[in-house]
Amino acid sequence: MKSLFSPKDVVSVVGISYRQLQYWDKTSFIKPSAIHMGKYRNYTFQELVQLKLAKILRESNVSIQKLRKVLESVKDLLPKVGCPLAECAFLIDGEKVLIFNGDVVMDPETSKQFFRFEVRALREEVDRIFPDKDSVQLVRSAVS
């Protein structure tokens, strides 16, 4: 499982431009936390989740002010998550952020009030784009 992502990786997974990623870093909206030798910037999976959320919410016409508040809540909540992040689902209603582990069941009327983001889908996409080296070796040896 890949855990650190270069800006090029982030652009391909999240679907934002390199310019947008640079801007968000420069404005401290979402900054990479893994910086090597003072110049190589890498993003963690948690930051990848934040970037994907930001992109999806911006496409849903959430204002930048609300988006900043939502992401601040997400940043505060992520260290408190007691299960693997890939098993979580985010429910966002305006400025409220709820994080659930496992399935979330709601009546159809209530579910319309929330934006839902399944981290599992992002993890699966990352694993598809960046297959584990061990699994690639197993597939190659099985084919040979």
Give pLDDT tens digits along the chain (144 positions): 688 999 999 999 999 999 999 999 999 999 998 877 767 889 999 999 999 999 999 988 888 889 999 999 999 988 888 888 888 989 888 778 889 887 777 888 887 888 888 999 999 999 999 887 654 443 344 344
Q: Give the whole-angstrom CA distance, residue 130 versus residue 118.
A: 19
Q: What is the pLDDT of residue 116?
A: 87
pTM of the predicted structure, to 2 decimals: 0.83
Longest dimension (CA), the chain: 55
Task: Report helix, strand or coil for 113.
Answer: coil
Token look-up 């855990």 returns: 3
Two tokens at 38? Answer: 């003072």
* Distances, alpha carbon 41 to alpha carbons 5, 63, 79, 83, in Å: 9, 27, 21, 27
Which among 15, 67, 8, 63 is positioned nearest to 32, based on CA atoms?
Answer: 8
Q: Give the whole-angstrom CA distance, residue 39 versus residue 75.
A: 24
**In the chain, what are the domains?**
4-132 (1.10.1660.10)
